[in-house]
Every structure is written in C-alpha cells, then in structure tokens.
Amino acid sequence: MAGLALWQGIDSALRLYGGTDIDLSREEGPAARTVLERDAAYLEMIDDWLGDPQARIRAGLLQFRLSLSTGPDIVLERRRALAKAIDDLRDGLARAPADARAWTALAHALLATGELEKGKLAFRTALLTAFYEPTLTLWRCQLGLGLWPLLDDADRRLVANQVRWAWTSQPADLVGLAKIANHAVVIAAVLDQDPAEKKAFEKALRR
C-alpha cells in the first residue's frame, strides 16, 4: 500500500511535470491542499534527480497556489507556502528564465511579502518575457494597476497596453477588477485615448 501511494503521488506530479495546466485561481480545501503539497514535493524531487528547472518552476506555481488559500486557521501555512513559492520560482527561473507565467507568479508572491522593488522587477520581466499572453492579461492588470503609483512612465505604458487588451478581450472581467480594487480612475485614463472606449467603460461601471 505504501508503494502504491508513493507511485500515485509521483504519477500525479509527473502529469504536472509533463505540461498539464496548473489552475492558479481555484480555491482549495484541506484535502486538495495536501495533494498540492505532495505534488510540489515530488516535483522538487524530480528536479533534484534530473536537474530540470521546469519541474522546480511547477513546484513553485503549486506552492503559490497554496499561498492563495483562505481561512484564519491556515495563516502560517500560507506564509510557508509563499516563502517556498518564492524560493522555487527563483531557483527555476535562474536556470530557465523564459516563463512569463512563472515571472508573474514570482512578482505577485514578492509583492505579497512587501518586497516592492523586487516585485516590480519581476513584474517588468514577466511583461518583457512574453508581452502579449492572453491567459495572463487580467492578472497582469491586477498587479500593474496595484503598482501604478510606483511605476515610471515606461512601465506604465506596458501596463496600459495590458489594460487595453483586457478591455478588448475581457471587458466584464476588467470592469469587475475596477470595482473590486478601486482602479476605475486609472483604467478610464488609460482608455481615454479612444473617447468611445472610455465612455463604454464608464457606462459598464454604472451597471
């Protein structure tokens, strides 16, 4: 039974290692968190055995997902997962830097720990690694708009492009982000280069 459990754990980790998408947005219960912790440990083991940074990066993404879990009883668990995510992502990206999602996750994790300058640098690297990545656009808007007061003009232009793409491809989600995080003023200013787009955004906000 122990051998079967070990193999099932390794098999689960290998599926992630082999390219199965990791959903960073899904909330996890206690049982699922245990599986995530196990899979992250196996992915780290795979990197130790094979020297493959992609396994380490995927372990970091799983740890980052664990850090997003909510609940007053898992505060310390979240902090440990966040620290582990940063360590794993830094390790993997140092050897395989062309991973925009990993850079975005690292930026988010660093900002969550209050490391603003390092978070800004990781965020900029994420944008420059893959400037147009539809699956990351709204996430980048969330981070970039949160950082907006701290960004220089060049970085603001990068974020503004993400906002425009989000408005084109995910308008309802962008409006939701504006309402939840109080980014309506900045988004409206970004869209102001096209008065019709700005007007449509402001109308959507009032719904």
Q: Output b/e per residue, 90-111; b: 16+ Cβ within 10 A.
A: bbbbeeeeebbbbbbbbbbbbb
What is the sign, positive or negative, of the torsion defined by CA atoms of 160, 113, 48, 31? Answer: negative
Cβ atoms 161, 168 nearer than 8 A: no
CB atoms closer than 10 angstroms to residue 129:
17
> What per-residue confidence (pLDDT) applies to 76?
86
* Greater model confidence, 182 or 97: 97
The string of pLDDT tens digits covering residues 46-92 is: 999 999 999 999 999 999 999 887 666 778 888 999 999 999 999 99
Per-residue CA distances from 131 to 31, 99, 172, 206 (Å): 36, 11, 22, 31
> What per-residue confidence (pLDDT) applies to 23?
52
Query: Domains of the chain by range and CATH?
Result: 1-118 (1.25.40), 131-207 (no CATH)
Q: Percentage of the chain with pLDDT > 70? A: 85
pTM given for the model: 0.86
